[in-house]
Amino acid sequence: MGAYLWLYIRFLDGKLWPGRSADERPARLRWRCVSRRAWFWSLLAGALAFASLIAARAVIGRMIELPREPAPDVSQYPRVAVILLVFMSALVAGIAEEAGFRGYMQVPIERSHGFAVAVLISGFCFALFHFTHSWMAIALVPAYMIISLVYGSLAFVNDSILPNVVLHAGGNFIGGLMLLYAPRQESPPLVWSSGTDGRFWVELTVAIALAAAACLAFRRLVVAESRTALATIC
């Protein structure tokens, strides 16, 4: 699978046949190095944004019933094999989805209609794509739109999907392991029946604080990308 991904990236980046599209493919893929400072602020902004979404999901889950992804039984398989499977699955999703949605889809729309329209369309398609999962529901569409806004903004500012791939694959990997091995907890009652409590207000405060911190980190990223004399790493 690693060899296939390597060939996949090389093709999308214009390194393989056909030659007539060799210049256009890398422009759409955005597989470019970014500065060390941009790496730091991109990963920090993305991590804070997704932590905020997790807290916000807990808050929303107190107001409406949200679907829960079923956890498959992997007890009969060696743990090392399961971890490797989750890792490769996360890596494939991180590379393929970022190349497809934030690269090949978003870039041409950006050119024709601007960033806002591009991230809206790619985000909506990103949400629709996840209806291939049996547990996906309309109530989760806004969350996937916000996730796509985070990824799309990072790709636009950096003109690269490399930080996105790390964030996407890392988040899927951690989420997959938690789904399989973290103990399942009972959902707390909805606030409409039990009323608000301390936990609800703490989760709401944490979600707002993390979102504000993510915005500050993203602002620092924009400043970092505006400086041209920074070394880049891949």
Confidence of residue 229 (pLDDT cuts 50, 70, 90): very low
Tens digits of per-residue pLDDT, 129-160? 999 988 899 999 999 999 999 999 999 999 99
pTM of the predicted structure, to 2 decimals: 0.94
The continuous run of DSSP H or E covering 35 comes out as strand 34-35
| Predicted pLDDT at 14 | 95
Classify residue 34 as exposed, middle or buried by CB count within 10 Å of its CB (0-12, 13-18, 19+). Answer: buried
- Distances in Å between the Cα of 46 and the Cα atoms of 28, 146, 186, 216 are 22, 11, 28, 11
Please name which of 12, 110, 140 lies closest in space to residue 132, comparing C-alpha atoms.
140
CA 124 to chain CA centroid, nearest Å: 14
In percent, the amount of the chain with pLDDT more than 70 equals 97
228 pLDDT exceeds 80?
no
Confidence of residue 39 (pLDDT cuts 50, 70, 90): very high
Average pLDDT taken over every residue of the chain = 94
SS3 assignment, position 232: strand
